[in-house]
Amino acid sequence: MRTIALEEHFTHPDMAVYSANTATIAEPRVWEDAVRHLLDFTELRIPAMDAAGLDMQVLSLNAPGIQAEKDTNVAIKRATFMNDTLAEAIGRNPDRFSGFAALPTQDPMAAANELERAVVELGLKGGVVNAHTHGKYLDDPSFRVLWERMVDLDVPLYLHPANGVDLPHVLSGHPELVGPMWSWGNDTASHVLRCVFGGVFDDFPEAKLMVGHMGEGLPYTLWRLDSRWSWHFHHGIKLKREKPSDYIRHNLYITTSGVCDNAPLQCALSAMGADHVLFSTDYPFEDLPTATSFLRDAPVSDEVRAKIAHGNAERLLKL
Ligand code: GRE
Ligand code: ZN
């Protein structure tokens, strides 16, 4: 069974300046080992893919990526360089790698232009954004130019987690809750809901947003979102569609990255439909064979397994 994974990370020595915060999440030796795998495209990665039966990785620059750069001009130059570097790596192994473009969201028009260059000239398949950009989220009106370009190019945006702009008070004194174990998923799910209630998908009904980690909890919440939206005072917020879940089912695609557990998979399939669930591993942060055997052994029909493993990715990314 052809198997394609969509949240697969790499990095470059120039990006080390941004990773100080993320590095503190892990023990130094664990982090060093992750960086060794992130910097490599072939010696460690391809044998690991072969051993796990993974045909293709759709690569993206590791979090926090370009979003962490404070200087807009540096962000634009660096995103261009990273996308060129990624395209070269893909060009050396085009049947094993594909990629999402890093976007200099510090300047939304530059991000739209870089997405277009990366898709049209470099053959990348969409964009990746890591959480906020200095406190700005993708529902900010300034980002409509980026959504518009995505829809024109018919490519998805992968929203990957990173640390929030500040520490939510409820997490104060609990640094162990900050990071991929807990805070990142909450932050990303909230970011998706900002896009829903911020009218992004009313303005761009065909926009395609992707999140990992089995949907960052969202598939579990749909009924309650709808029920409470119909009860709440809406503070003047209006949606064109009746229910919040209409947007999540239509505009959101989720990947299995970093979650190898049948219960949330069944929930995701039931809530989102099999056309909206795609395979991922979250390399190098999760174990590749664990992820591929989870997919192979999941109690789903072979038709659904094929959609998750490759069919949905082939359709959405035109692979
Ligand atoms: C991830 O992408 O899930 C991730 C990182 C960095 C550290 C741990 C982790 O990007 O799980
Ligand atoms: Zn990841």
**Sign, Cα dihedral of 311, 313, 318, 319:** negative
Identify which of 22, 33, 38, 260 to mutate to test ligand 1's pocket (most ligand atoms within 8 A of the CB): 22
Nearest ligand atom owner, CA of 59: 2
Nearest ligand atom owner, CA of 11: 1
Catalytic machinery residues: 282
The CA distance from 99 to 97, in Å, is 7
Query: How far, in Å, is the centroid of ligand 1 from the Cα of 233?
Result: 37
**Tens digit of each residue's pLDDT (9 = 90 or more) over 9-39:** 999 999 999 988 888 889 999 999 999 999 9
Question: What does the mean pLDDT of the chain come to?
Answer: 97
Domain 4-317 adopts which CATH fold?
A: TIM Barrel (3.20.20)
Give one word for 179, left, alpha or beta, with left for phi > 0 and alpha for psi -120 to 50: left
pLDDT at position 46 is 98
- Whose C-alpha lies nearest to ligand 1, atom 6? 22
Model pTM score: 0.98
Identify which of 18, 33, 62, 286 to mutate to test ligand 1's pocket (most ligand atoms within 8 A of the CB): 62
Per-residue DSSP letter, 136: B
Q: Is 23 in the pocket of ligand 1 (CB under 6 A)?
A: no
Rg of the chain over all Cα atoms, to the nearest angstrom:
18
pLDDT at position 213 is 98
**Phi then psi dihedrals of residue 288, to 5 deg:** -60, -50
| Low pLDDT (below 70) residues in the chain | none
Residues near ligand 2 ion, CB 5 Å cutoff? 7, 282
pLDDT at position 20 is 85
pLDDT at position 22 is 85
Query: How far, in Å, is the centroid of ligand 1 from the Cα of 314?
Result: 25
**Sign, Cα dihedral of 266, 272, 273, 279:** negative
pLDDT at position 118 is 99
Identify which of 282, 283, 286, 287 to mutate to test ligand 1's pocket (most ligand atoms within 8 A of the CB): 282
Nearest ligand atom owner, CA of 210: 2
For the chain, which residues make up each domain, given as ranges? 4-317
